[in-house]
Structures are given as C-alpha cells and as structure tokens.
Amino acid sequence: MFKSVMQLSLFSFLLSLLAFAYALPVAIRDVFVPPVTSPTTGTVWTVGSQQNVTWDTSNAPAQITNKKGQVVLAKDGRLDIENPLASDFDILQGWVTVTVPDVTPDIDYTIVLFGDSGNDSGVFAIMPSVQAV
C-alpha cells in the first residue's frame, strides 16, 4: 500500500516535470551549454603548443539554435573576445585543437566555450615555451 502511494506520487512528480519542460519556450530548451572537460583546474599549457579543448556533448538537445562554436581565452575572468582561439567549428564535435597564443605566462587563465551561450573551464596556467626562456 505504502509502496504504491510512493509510486503514484513519483509518477505524478515526473509528469509535472515533463509538463514544466514542455511549457518552456523552444529557445530556452534548445540552448546548449556543454561543460568544458579540458583544460581543467591545474592544466598547464605552453606558449606555442597545440592543445585540445574538449567538452561534454552528451546532453546535446536534438535541435540546437547555434551549432557553431567559439573558444575564447580569458585571463583573470577578462575575455579576449577580439582574438578567439578557435571559431566556426561544430559544437557537437566535442573538441577543437587550438594553438596557445604568446600571452603573458600566468596561472589565472580560463577558456570560455561559446555556442548558444558560454561556459568556462577551470582555471589553468600558461607557461613560456622552453625556447623563450
């Protein structure tokens, strides 16, 4: 008896979740903000090296408003929008290779992945290339 009451309320709870999801405007449902899986906190990039930026595409909605992605470097939270590391790639690909620009070596870099919206990576470091030292 108790169990079936539980099941019933779980069922109606799921139903109301569904109703809520379908009540959302299409534009909101289709916004895809994949979490960045690399670089992560503690990653070290070397100036001039090639690095893969990766993100999780497993929760991609069937319809995405903007399939073109862009990767922007940020230092201490300030985005360098003018010089994206990569742009115009397919956001569903899940990764893109970038060349680390010749920036001031520091430990407060993040990248922001833009599709419909942006999501940032963990804070990582960029170190000078061996030749530059």
Ligand X SMILES: *[C@@H]1O[C@H](CO)[C@@H](O)[C@H](O)[C@H]1NC(C)=O
CB 100 within 8 A of CB 83: no
- Closest contact distance (angstroms) between CB of 67 and ligand X is 17
Is cis: bond before 61, omega within 30 of 0?
A: no
Interface mask (CB under 6 A) for ligand X, residues 39-78, using x and -?
-----------x-x--------------------------
Cα–Cα distance, 74 to 89 (Å, whole number)? 19
Is residue 32 within 8 A of residue 60, CB to CB? The reply is yes
- The residue within the footprint of ligand X, chosen from 29, 30, 33, 89 (CB under 6 A), is 33
Tell me which residues in 97-116 interact with ligand X (CB under 6 A): 97
| # binding residues, ligand X (CB under 6 A) | 8
For the four alpha carbons of 24, 27, 30 and 33, in that order, the dihedral sign comes to: negative
State the nearest-atom distance from the C-beta of 71 to ligand X, in Å.
13
For ligand X, the binding residues (CB under 6 A) are: 33, 35-36, 50, 52, 95, 97, 119
